[in-house]
Structure 1
Amino acid sequence: MTPFYRALFVGPILFLLSYAPVCVAKERPNILIVLTDDQGRDDFGYRNPYVYETPYLDRLRSQSLEFSRFYVNQTCAPTRASLLTGRHFLETGVWGVHGGQDYLNLDETTFAERLLELGYATAFYGKWHSGKTDGYLPWDRGFEEGELAHLYRHENGIFYTREGEVRTKGWTGRSLAEKASQYLRARSKAGDGRPFCLYLSMLAPHGPWYAPEERVTKYRKRGYSKSLAEFAGMIEELDGNIGRVLEALDESGLADDTVVLFFSDNGPIMNSGRKDMADHVGKDWELRNPSQLRGNKGTVYENGVRVPLFARWPGRIRAGESTQLSHVVDIFPTLLELAGERPDARKGDAPLRGHSLLPVMLHGAELPPRSLFIASDHAQVPGGRHRYDFLSSAKLLEGEVQDLALREGNRKLVRRGGRIELFDIENDPSELRDLSKVEPEVSERMSRQLLDTFESIRDSGRAFQAPVFRIGVDEDRASFVFACAPSELYGSVKYGSHATTGWARVGDGQAHRVDVVQEGWFSVILHVAGGKKGARVKIEVGKSSLVGDLTEGNRTKLGRIYLAKGDGVLSCVLKSLSADGGVFESLKAIEFIGDGATQGAFYSF
């Protein structure tokens, strides 16, 4: 175990041994977790009243203990992985966003699974982004109820459930708020004596930026640019939707018995996500960033990874501010302790990486000193790597060229592409004054810790891997293998965020890791864009194979194949071109429909 791992992981263990759980089972509270998407540290009225109006969040903050030195990961899927597992995201199989990089390893234990075992009712609504096929979905990971929102439809949303697809009209954030409110009202009348844990993951204010016209008009009248007015209106709409949920909690009579945890998944982004609207530049960004923190979403600088955490429990958690160093990995052990359990992993589970924050919340206890390892979700190879360049092996990733950071006490070391910077965060929160040459010994020690930690995770066999796709999990439903998550590419095929492209020559293809749960006969459907009639493709899993011809369009039934139970490799290879020499523009998914099953919904979240 490296010195860094001792600092980060042994410290919490010694801390746990020093006290008994501060909650007992008979007084276990309900839990409401509200996570927003791309809401920066200054995107609140209480921090930035010149730009925003957020009365509900401001009130929640005034009723809460605010952890003002709370860290998350620099993008959405990594933060969700750490929240769900209490572990560093790279350890969980998540190492990026889309392209198959955002699937939570099937052997990871989630907080929902633990709470469900402890007698909690569990539910999830909103943005999931932790895997989008059988085995990875909320109802597979401990949530009794779950609805996943399509990314990023802020109007007329699509929700995916265990039973199928649900379409809504109007603003999606309001639909999410109503779904959460309905759940709270139902739990208040359940009569089963079970506390609940509701995880509400909002889409806003992730782009594309859209808000109700009356909200946008108000900010335009103040002289704001179109993009800033749209964004400010979106923040106000988000605030109102969270307010609806908090009001439902009050009206249900559950508020006094419910711990509310609120935070954002990463720092702010400047991109509007709309072709008809400019991104934030110049004055817009200055208005949004009055704290003048360095960086934004996707960076390891403070503005990319530092957001406020609000913790409210009326009559138990005293409102105020905690400046203790905390991290999203601390939420899992905190939830366990709220449920009356010791805040650590079960025997046989992977170790948790955080502290319970409950002693801080209830008694103002001091957390032990520790280091926080911060890594980018954009893995780099020497010479540079585009986010969706295929990574054939984790061994290609050299620690020296990654974007990494280490927070230890009041020092923060940043490594970016081989450059080292050292900052005194307490006195220089904007990370402007590099102390690496002034404190070379500190820089060298912290840099070595960073590299040791990254290399340990890289070499663990759990990081930077393609996901395993399960086939035949449910005899009534189809199984999907998404093309954007290959374990290997052949020929000229190119990796991408939601599909593979470049299919042009005989022998082009790709492979996937699969686990056939139920053996038997399966019909195989190829989902493509711009398919060319007559091109021939071979599907092979283990000793079984199928050769079929494409039809015109986006969906081809290739034929039937018998799959034996167990782990294996699925390959899809081009055997011949169409008469005009084409194949398809892109491959999206391979669908397997067992006998008696129906075609599945092509999940797009």
Structure 2
Amino acid sequence: MKYLPTLLAGLFISIAHAETERPNVILVMTDDQGYGDLGCHGNPILKTPELDKLHDESVRFTDFHVSSFCTPTRAALMTGNYPAFAGAYRTSAGRTLMHTDEKTIANLFSDAGYTTGMVGKWHLGDNAPHRPQDRGFQKVLWHKAGGVGQAPDYWGNDYFDDTYERASADNKNGTYEKFEGYCTDVWFRESIRFIEQNKEKPFFLYLALNAPHGPYFVPDEWAAPYKGNDDVVNPNFYGMIANIDHNMGILRQQLEKLGLAENTILIFMTDNGTSAGAKFKGLNSLPLKGYNAGMRGKKSSVYDGGQRVPFFIYWPKGGLTGGRDMDTITAHIDVLPSLADMCGISVPSEYDVDGISFKPLLQGENKDWPRKSHVIQYHGGAHGKAMPPAPLNFSVVLTEQWRLVNSDGEFLYDIEADPAQQNDVAANHPGVVEQLRQDYQPFWKRVSPRMTPVRIDLGNPANNPTILSSQDWYMDKGNPPWNFGSIKKLPKVTGPWMVDVQRAGRYRITLRQWPKEAEKPVVAVRAKLEIADQVAESPVKAGSTGVEFEIDLPAGPTKLVTYLYDKKGKAGGAYFTDVEFLSGN
């Protein structure tokens, strides 16, 4: 196993001393930016001077792994657990919600006396009890869904002058506010506002950007340097990263101005491989165009290009400076226990984390590093195909030398000799293949019992009415309608919302084709719903923006299924359904 040489002799003392002064934590994570989408990682075109500077000053984990999609990485980051164990292991279809018994890093830091803030993209549930303000974050400014412009997001948001929800531990229902400017600028501006307001005591800030995720909107000034270059796959994608880079510089300048830079743990990472920094013939190929740091695969691939990402950590008072590389395998599940360890916070046994604190690695204590292998698996719904959870399916078992990939076949790669993963050597190393298969088994035993439906509350006082979106239909094949573009016509499919009625009583359930703020009519002639063994139907009045039902519901778990029928009798589900508790029985 490879290890970083022993760090400076005083590092252990530095970290121990800094812990007594309660460091702040800022974790910045971008969306769909790959390992190669940085100048410091060899990109010959993209200019990222501020991130390059942070790279040069930080400890860099060069073999750091996440999941290959948005939601599972976020679930692992928040809980320290494998995404499937946490319950949130897909990007839609009812699998974006964490089990309610999962504790988050925000719970941990909040309980330890930190002020906790979250800004930007959550993608772990839009309704109680799954919103960031329900999961330990005391101050929140966020957009719904997995991206700006997706179905649950505020209608009309398009990255510019958008409307986002502000919420807090004291106002979990939240209120919508309209902001001026480009989304990334807003997120950084509001993050700095949070820092300024909470600088007098330790804070934990999770700044989760929606950029450079599609639809790749950015002010022209940022994309202009990359337009007209035949080697650039998507100028707007690079422009979005350039804008992030600019804002990172502003953030760091403000930390210096406030006197907080020395004792703030600043982390930069991304959530999966590149989405538009390179062009590929297929999901798991080497790039035909663009730059991917020599790796095979991109976002959604279990090859290294899909899930090996940047991870920079900078903490001057803790001795984490100097531009050093750490080449031991680490992962998103390690962030919670590591930050807790560095901040002197004990992780209660109820957190039951899968991750390992990498603080000993930072101190040069490498001999007893317990991880011999690591497993990454995507558990269903890839590219519109049915993919029921199954052992080894669409997975990779990693060591520092080997990658056992199961994706359209089983392949073994010697990552040290073949970092581009081009030569399958399984036939030459049957013993290695068998060992990695065995290494996989405890992972499957751990996660498979937890891949069960996670429910949305109805009648929760902190989220009444509940606004349900088709993005959360619990579907086994493909993805349900999930963005503004997919809801323009009547749906052809429907699916159940897995819900939990918190209070028995009278409810108003309103079926809509469009979100309420759109004020657009339902283009259907008849509506129906099924819930708690009850069925209700109603004609749709011409020009109506919603079809209302009042129904008595018992408390407890159930399913809600909706139907909107056209003139030919064909039906699909209501893209949006408002469920409001009216009164108790």
Give, in whole Å, the separation in 1 of the partners of 2:363 and 2:38.
25
Confirm whether residue 526 of structure 1 aligns to residue 511 of structure 2: yes
The 8 Å contact of residues 545 and 561 in structure 1, kept in 2 or not, is answered as no
Name 1:157's counterpart in structure 2.
162
**Paired residues for 1:477-492 under 5 Å:** 477-487=464-474
CA pair 438-553 structure 1, distance change in 2 beyond 3 A = farther
Name 1:515's counterpart in structure 2.
500
The 8 Å contact of residues 413 and 422 in structure 1, kept in 2 or not, is answered as yes
Which letter maps to 1:387?
G
- How far is the alpha carbon of 1:471 from its aligned partner? 0.9
- How far is the alpha carbon of 1:300 from its aligned partner? 0.9
Name 1:428's counterpart in structure 2.
418
Confirm whether residue 550 of structure 1 aligns to residue 505 of structure 2: no
Q: Deviations over 1:302-346 (max 9, x none)?
A: 11111121111113214211111111111000121133123x4x2
- How far is the alpha carbon of 1:213 from its aligned partner? 1.8
The 8 Å contact of residues 509 and 571 in structure 1, kept in 2 or not, is answered as no
Name 2:67's counterpart in structure 1.
73
Q: Deviations over 1:516-549 (max 9, x none)?
A: 223332211112257455414144326x664433
- How far is the alpha carbon of 1:468 from its aligned partner? 0.4
**Paired residues for 1:30-49 under 5 Å:** 30-49=24-43
**Paired residues for 1:390-405 under 5 Å:** 397-399=389-391, 402-405=393-396
Q: Deviations over 1:453-501 (max 9, x none)?
A: 46424641x11x3330101112673113434434589xxx996143899
Structure 1 regions of 5+ residues with no counterpart? 1-20, 273-278, 598-605
- How far is the alpha carbon of 1:404 from its aligned partner? 0.9
The 8 Å contact of residues 360 and 366 in structure 1, kept in 2 or not, is answered as no
**SS of the counterpart of 2:317?**
coil
Name 2:20's counterpart in structure 1.
26
Give, in whole Å, the separation in 1 of the partners of 2:462 and 2:304.
48
The 8 Å contact of residues 51 and 232 in structure 1, kept in 2 or not, is answered as no
- How far is the alpha carbon of 1:586 from its aligned partner? 4.4
Name 2:517's counterpart in structure 1.
none
Give, in whole Å, the separation in 1 of the partners of 2:290 and 2:32.
13
Confirm whether residue 237 of structure 1 aligns to residue 243 of structure 2: yes
The 8 Å contact of residues 397 and 404 in structure 2, kept in 1 or not, is answered as yes
**SS of the counterpart of 1:95?**
coil
**SS of the counterpart of 2:63?**
strand
- How far is the alpha carbon of 1:376 from its aligned partner? 3.9
Matching residue within 480, 484, 488 for 1:496: 480
Which letter maps to 2:510?
I
Give, in whole Å, the separation in 2 of the partners of 1:300 and 1:541.
40
Name 1:11's counterpart in structure 2.
none
Give, in whole Å, the separation in 2 of the partners of 1:553 and 1:375.
49
Which letter maps to 1:589?
F
Give, in whole Å, the separation in 2 of the partners of 1:62 and 1:554.
59
The 8 Å contact of residues 470 and 574 in structure 2, kept in 1 or not, is answered as yes
Confirm whether residue 251 of structure 1 aligns to residue 270 of structure 2: no
The 8 Å contact of residues 296 and 304 in structure 1, kept in 2 or not, is answered as yes
The farther-off stretch of 296-305 and 246-255 is 246-255
**Paired residues for 1:97-496 under 5 Å:** 97-149=91-143, 151-152=147-148, 153-162=158-167, 163-188=174-199, 191=200, 194-220=201-227, 223-224=229-230, 227-270=233-276, 285=287, 288-289=290-291, 291-316=293-318, 317-319=320-322, 320-342=324-346, 344=347, 346-347=348-349, 349-363=350-364, 365-366=366-367, 368-377=369-378, 379=380, 387=384, 389=386, 397-399=389-391, 402-417=393-408, 419-450=409-440, 452-453=441-442, 455-457=444-446, 459-460=448-449, 462-463=450-451, 465-474=452-461, 477-487=464-474, 496=480
The 8 Å contact of residues 415 and 421 in structure 2, kept in 1 or not, is answered as yes
Q: Deviations over 1:31-60 (max 9, x none)?
A: 000001111111111123521111111111
Which letter maps to 2:191?
A
The 8 Å contact of residues 154 and 203 in structure 1, kept in 2 or not, is answered as no
Identity of aligned residues (%): 23
The 8 Å contact of residues 388 and 497 in structure 1, kept in 2 or not, is answered as no
- How far is the alpha carbon of 1:431 from its aligned partner? 1.1
Which letter maps to 1:441?
G
Give, in whole Å, the separation in 2 of the partners of 1:536 and 1:208.
33
The 8 Å contact of residues 459 and 502 in structure 2, kept in 1 or not, is answered as yes
Which letter maps to 1:263?
M
Give, in whole Å, the separation in 2 of the partners of 1:415 and 1:577.
42
- How far is the alpha carbon of 1:119 from its aligned partner? 0.4
Q: Deviations over 1:250-270 (max 9, x none)?
A: 222111111011110011123
The 8 Å contact of residues 128 and 462 in structure 2, kept in 1 or not, is answered as no
Give, in whole Å, the separation in 2 of the partners of 1:538 and 1:287.
49
Q: Deviations over 1:88-130 (max 9, x none)?
A: 1111111211222211222211010011001010000011111
The 8 Å contact of residues 207 and 271 in structure 1, kept in 2 or not, is answered as no
Which letter maps to 1:128?
W
Give the CA RMSD over aligned residues: 3.2
Give, in whole Å, the separation in 2 of the partners of 1:197 and 1:483.
33
- How far is the alpha carbon of 1:65 from its aligned partner? 0.5
Which letter maps to 2:581?
G
Name 1:601's counterpart in structure 2.
none
The 8 Å contact of residues 67 and 376 in structure 2, kept in 1 or not, is answered as yes
CA pair 572-140 structure 1, distance change in 2 beyond 3 A = same
**SS of the counterpart of 2:40?**
coil
- How far is the alpha carbon of 1:233 from its aligned partner? 2.0
The 8 Å contact of residues 233 and 277 in structure 2, kept in 1 or not, is answered as no
Which letter maps to 1:416?
S
Give, in whole Å, the separation in 2 of the partners of 1:226 and 1:341.
45
Name 2:152's counterpart in structure 1.
none
The 8 Å contact of residues 39 and 47 in structure 2, kept in 1 or not, is answered as yes
**SS of the counterpart of 1:555?**
coil
Give the TM-score normalised by the residue count of structure 2.
Answer: 0.83
Name 2:12's counterpart in structure 1.
none
Give, in whole Å, the separation in 2 of the partners of 1:494 and 1:220.
34
- How far is the alpha carbon of 1:441 from its aligned partner? 1.5
Give the TM-score normalised by the residue count of structure 1.
Answer: 0.81
Give, in whole Å, the separation in 1 of the partners of 2:428 and 2:385.
38
Q: Deviations over 1:573-605 (max 9, x none)?
A: 65x967x334665421321122399xxxxxxxx
CA pair 558-88 structure 1, distance change in 2 beyond 3 A = same
How many matched pairs? 538
The farther-off stretch of 553-562 and 419-428 is 553-562
- How far is the alpha carbon of 1:289 from its aligned partner? 2.3
Give, in whole Å, the separation in 2 of the partners of 1:425 and 1:226.
27
CA pair 22-413 structure 1, distance change in 2 beyond 3 A = farther
**SS of the counterpart of 2:160?**
coil
The 8 Å contact of residues 512 and 571 in structure 1, kept in 2 or not, is answered as yes
The 8 Å contact of residues 457 and 502 in structure 2, kept in 1 or not, is answered as yes
Q: Deviations over 1:155-188 (max 9, x none)?
A: 2333122322222232111111100011111122
Give, in whole Å, the separation in 2 of the partners of 1:49 and 1:581.
55
CA pair 408-517 structure 1, distance change in 2 beyond 3 A = same
